């Protein structure tokens, strides 16, 4: 007779109803076991996935290390259980005293029924907890420290606890009386809850201190009364787990075997499938139900594992999927769970991967690209068997990529001190999880003991997501999907409730041969942020575009202000820009899209770098898709945000090392550079802008225009002089002309605060003139050699000063014109 059948027999003998399950429904594996399983979950046949085998605890050192972790976990669990028993017993004394009055809450007989055997069970577990804690504490003190001589791995042989478990198992008869009385006790609680308001108030607001920070958790009376029944079902499972990590040569092995035998013969039949446990409900009769499920990467054990996460109305359940062999049912194995009561969430983005991680991702992506090309080239030519093998390999590679590519971390912190870390590749998906958890989480949410075995078993029927998000199994080939270059120009946003520094995150679906996510730089604090930043994606089988607007705050978590998704259709996208306004909740974001179809090249090992310093301005503006380089705009905006009142702005230099550091970051990552710019000392920011113009290979005003501008200065009539000078300016290339106008407007705004910052138009012209305008090298012949350097500087300053004095400067065009086939569209989400 197996463990389950023993349980059913025992429950029937005690007149406790039990639901008999078929063999298919009975899980023979230990669903509560915490295994060190490094194999990512696969929805395919286990033998078909090319992943490392599950490691086994082959050496005594490994087993003892795992054994110590199991014992510490048992100790923590016992401490929580004792607090719950204390919470259950807390009103017993008062209820007994009330039973002797004229208006008792419960009669003396009812008090005896409700609390039958609970004090004895509490005393038994208190004795076990004290003994186990004492031995673990003594063992931890005796372990060799770092650098000390000794065989630390073998000190586990000296830790003997088998007698404690055997003593506890020999007292499990106390639970027999509790189980036999359980149904009657529940009936008393339910009856009195309905009939007596005093008892109802008590029964619906039992409190217990959980965790080291003494967080108070709310229970119902019935939920606490269920605790001993829940606990006793796990005794056999705990002993099995401990025995698996105990070497056969250990002194505890025989004692634990005997304890396991006694436990199985007496109480292992009392498990989570009994009808009495199914009857536990949440407050006000609300039943637990599934709200959301999906696949995530669990990093709680220090390694990455694909897991199936289930969100119920009061808890998060993490499971390991086990694909069934032919003719059998899929199964889920229990991983961990966290109650939603008091659950704290925190997410961060870690976009920086180590070189080893980058190499691993490149290898996987290259293999995926090759397999994808083979499937396309040999479609229908080599038969179904070849296609099936190639598709299976592609699915395996996608699983590996799904495991190692996530960059978003979602940390879950429970009031009990338990924490788990989930990893996701998509900020959009992370926000969906966060919203779903927030929606069902309230301050007074009740913690009800989860029916773990039944809950885990039911996942197969309840699940809404059947398999991990593998594009190779879900892709819709043909004209419905895009393959080529998708360009997204993010222009501006409006609708913010208060000024904020925000950025836009853009994601695309399809095969992940290249990065499928990109973000704009963060804007200055504004109600109407502008970016005019172009993002480019290499896509294959893409069908959906996702956008998120995110608020960035120093020292705080980023906050998603709104999100939306857009269907990508090849019939509506072409090589001309298509402008539209998207509604992301309360925030409206204006973007333009265009698409150029073409076959994709194999992914490169390193992401292409687009440096901006020491690069001709026409190249920078072309690769950024703008008229004014982002480095110029961002530095000028930051100076205007917090540097207009700075005395000597642009005249006083910042730290040269900080300036060079920002220069390096601008050459590699615009978003990181702008984030650092927001925190840099303002004179460093102004120094970066001056350095950019000084290091241009060609001056902003082309050198061949120097002589024309010098002749314009000789014109005596002011209006005629300006006409001539603007004629020269308009003959300059568009990026040069618009960047120069942008800088002029910026310097005029700086000069408006000259009473505070002491920077007049002449002062600013003196600083920027030599950087923006230079004499051509060829002119240093017959003409240039006779021009004194001081004369050249005077001319440079006078030209810039003359432009700055103009009161009606033309406006600068900062972004490229995104021509559209039709009028702007507005998409409501």
**Could you tell me which residue, 116 or 686, shows the higher pLDDT?**
686
Q: Which residue has the higher pLDDT, 327 or 818?
A: 818
* % of the chain surpassing 70 pLDDT: 79
The pLDDT of residue 452 is 76
Q: 3-class DSSP state for residue 594? A: strand
19-27: long-range pairs with CB below 8 Å, 24+: 19/273, 19/274, 19/275, 19/278, 21/273, 24/328, 24/329, 25/329, 25/457, 26/2, 27/331, 27/333, 27/453, 27/456, 27/457
User: So what's the pLDDT on residue 22?
Assistant: 39
pLDDT (0 to 100) of residue 553: 78
Residue 542, H or E segment:
strand 530-542
> 501-537, pLDDT tens digit by residue?
999 999 999 888 888 999 999 998 889 999 999 999 9
- Report how far residue 471's alpha carbon sits from residue 818's, in angstroms, rounded to the nearest whole number: 32
What is the distance, to the nearest Å, from the Cα of residue 488 to the centroid of all Cα atoms in its chain?
24
pLDDT at site 28: 29
Percent of the chain with pLDDT over 90: 39
Tens-digit pLDDT profile for residues 334-388: 889 998 888 999 998 876 777 788 888 888 888 988 888 888 777 655 566 777 7
pLDDT of 215 reads: 60
User: What is the overall mean pLDDT for the chain?
Assistant: 81
The answer to whether residue 684 scores a pLDDT higher than 90 is: yes
Is the predicted pLDDT of residue 209 greater than 90, yes or no?
no
pTM: 0.64
CA–CA–CA angle 212, 218, 224 (5° rounding): 95
Instruction: Give the Cα separation of 44 and 270 in Å (integer).
Output: 34
Give the DSSP letter string of 267-284.
TTT--TTBHHHHT---GG
> What angle (nearest 5°) sits at the alpha carbon of residue 384, between those of residues 382 and 386?
55
CA–chain centroid gap for 700, Å, is 43
pLDDT at 51: 33
**What's the average model confidence in pLDDT over 759-786?**
78
User: pLDDT (tens digit, 9 = 90+) per residue, 39-85?
Assistant: 333 333 333 333 333 334 457 777 888 889 899 999 998 998 999 89
Start-end of H helices in 378-411:
383-404
CA distance 459 to 668: 46
> What digits encode the pLDDT tens for the residues 402-460?
888 888 999 999 888 889 999 999 999 999 999 999 888 865 566 666 667 778 878 88
What pLDDT does residue 34 have? 32
Query: What was the pLDDT predicted at 213?
Result: 52
**pLDDT exceeds cutoff 50 at 148:** no
490 - beta bridge partners? 533, 591
The two tokens of residue 357 are 């991680």
Q: For the residues 689-698, what does the mean pLDDT come to?
A: 96
Residue 313 has pLDDT above 70, yes or no: yes
Of the candidate ranges 27-41, 530-544, 638-652, the one whose mean pLDDT is the lowest? 27-41
C-alpha to C-alpha distance for 705 and 722, rounded to whole angstroms: 15
Among the listed ranges 87-101, 166-180, 202-216, 629-643, which one has the minimum average pLDDT value?
A: 202-216
Place of tokens 């033309």: 810
């Amino acid at each position: 007779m197996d463990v389950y059948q023993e349980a059913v027999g025992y429950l029937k003998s005690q007149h406790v109803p039990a639901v008999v399950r078929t063999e298919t429904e009975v899980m023979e594996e230990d669903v509560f076991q915490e295994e060190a399983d490094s194999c990512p979950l696969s929805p395919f046949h286990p033998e078909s996935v090319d992943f490392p085998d599950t490691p086994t605890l082959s050496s005594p050192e490994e087993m003892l290390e795992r054994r110590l972790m199991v014992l510490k976990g048992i100790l923590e669990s016992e401490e929580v259980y004792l607090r719950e028993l204390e919470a259950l017993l807390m009103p017993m004394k008062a209820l007994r005293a009330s039973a002797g009055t004229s208006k008792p809450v419960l009669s003396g007989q009812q008090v005896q029924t409700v609390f039958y055997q609970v004090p004895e069970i509490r005393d038994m577990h208190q004795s076990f907890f004290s003994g186990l804690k004492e031995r673990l504490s003594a063992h931890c003190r005796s372990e060799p420290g770092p650098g000390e001589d000794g065989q630390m791995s073998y000190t586990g042989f000296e830790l003997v606890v088998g007698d404690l478990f055997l003593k506890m198992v020999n007292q499990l008869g106390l639970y027999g009386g509790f189980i036999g009385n359980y149904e009657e006790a529940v009936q008393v609680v339910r009856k009195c809850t309905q009939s007596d308001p005093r008892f109802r108030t008590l029964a619906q607001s039992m409190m217990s201190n959980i965790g080291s920070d003494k967080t108070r958790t709310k229970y119902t009376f019935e939920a606490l009364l269920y605790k001993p029944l829940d606990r006793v079902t796990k005794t056999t499972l705990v002993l099995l787990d401990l025995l698996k990590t105990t070497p056969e040569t250990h002194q505890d092995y025989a004692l634990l075997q005997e304890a396991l035998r006694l436990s199985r013969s007496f109480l292992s039949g009392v498990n989570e499938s009994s009808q009495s446990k199914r009857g536990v409900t949440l407050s006000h009769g609300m039943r637990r139900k599934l709200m959301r499920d999906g696949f995530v990467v669990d990093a709680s054990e220090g390694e990455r594992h694909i897991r199936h996460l289930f969100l119920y109305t009061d808890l998060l359940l993490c499971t390991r999927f086990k694909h069934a062999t032919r003719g059998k049912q899929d199964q889920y194995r229990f991983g961990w769970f966290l109650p939603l009561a008091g659950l704290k969430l925190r997410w961060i983005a870690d976009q920086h991967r180590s070189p080893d991680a980058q190499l691993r991702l490149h290898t996987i992506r290259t293999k995926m690209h090759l397999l994808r090309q083979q499937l396309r080239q040999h479609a229908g030519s080599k038969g179904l068997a070849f296609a099936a093998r190639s598709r299976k390999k592609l699915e395996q590679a996608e699983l590996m990529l799904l495991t190692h590519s996530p960059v978003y971390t979602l940390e879950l912190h429970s009031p009990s001190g338990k924490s788990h870390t989930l990893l996701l590749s998509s900020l959009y998906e992370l926000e969906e999880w966060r919203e779903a958890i927030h929606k069902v989480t309230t301050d007074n949410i009740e913690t009800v003991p989860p029916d773990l075995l039944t809950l885990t078993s039911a996942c197969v029927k309840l699940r809404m997501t059947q398999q991990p998000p593998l594009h190779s199994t879900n892709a819709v080939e043909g004209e419905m999907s895009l393959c080529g270059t998708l360009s997204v120009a993010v222009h501006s946003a409006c609708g913010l409730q208060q000024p904020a520094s925000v950025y836009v995150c853009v994601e695309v679906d399809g095969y992940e041969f290249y990065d499928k996510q990109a973000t704009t730089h963060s804007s200055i604090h504004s109600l109407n942020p502008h970016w005019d930043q172009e993002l480019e994606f290499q896509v294959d089988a893409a069908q959906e575009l996702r956008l998120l607007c995110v608020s960035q705050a120093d020292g705080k978590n980023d906050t998603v202000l709104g999100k939306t998704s857009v269907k990508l259709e090849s019939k509506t996208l072409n090589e001309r820009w298509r402008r539209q306004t998207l509604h992301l909740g309360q925030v409206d974001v204006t973007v333009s899209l265009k698409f150029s179809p073409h076959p994709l090249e194999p992914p490169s090992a390193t992401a292409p770098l687009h440096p901006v310093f020491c690069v001709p301005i026409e190249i920078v503006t072309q690769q950024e898709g703008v008229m004014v380089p982002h480095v110029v705009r961002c530095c000028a905006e930051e100076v205007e945000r917090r540097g207009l009142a700075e005395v000597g702005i642009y005249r006083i230099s910042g730290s040269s090392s900080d300036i060079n550091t920002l220069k390096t970051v601008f050459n590699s990552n615009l978003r990181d550079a702008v984030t650092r710019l927001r925190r840099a000392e303002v004179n460093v920011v102004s120094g970066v802008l001056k350095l950019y113009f000084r290091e241009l290979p060609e001056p902003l005003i082309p050198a061949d225009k120097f002589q024309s501008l010098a002749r314009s200065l000789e014109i005596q009539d002011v209006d005629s002089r300006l006409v001539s000078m603007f004629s020269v300016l308009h003959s300059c290339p568009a990026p040069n002309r618009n960047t120069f106008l942008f800088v002029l407007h910026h310097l005029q705004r700086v000069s408006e605060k000259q009473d505070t910052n002491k920077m007049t138009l002449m002062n600013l012209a003196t600083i920027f003139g030599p950087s923006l305008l230079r004499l051509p090298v060829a002119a240093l012949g017959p003409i240039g050699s006779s021009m004194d350097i001081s004369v050249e500087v005077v001319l440079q300053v006078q030209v810039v000063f003359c432009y700055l004095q103009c009161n009606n400067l033309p406006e600068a065009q900062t972004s490229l014109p995104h021509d559209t086939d039709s009028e702007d569209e507005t998409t409501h989400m």
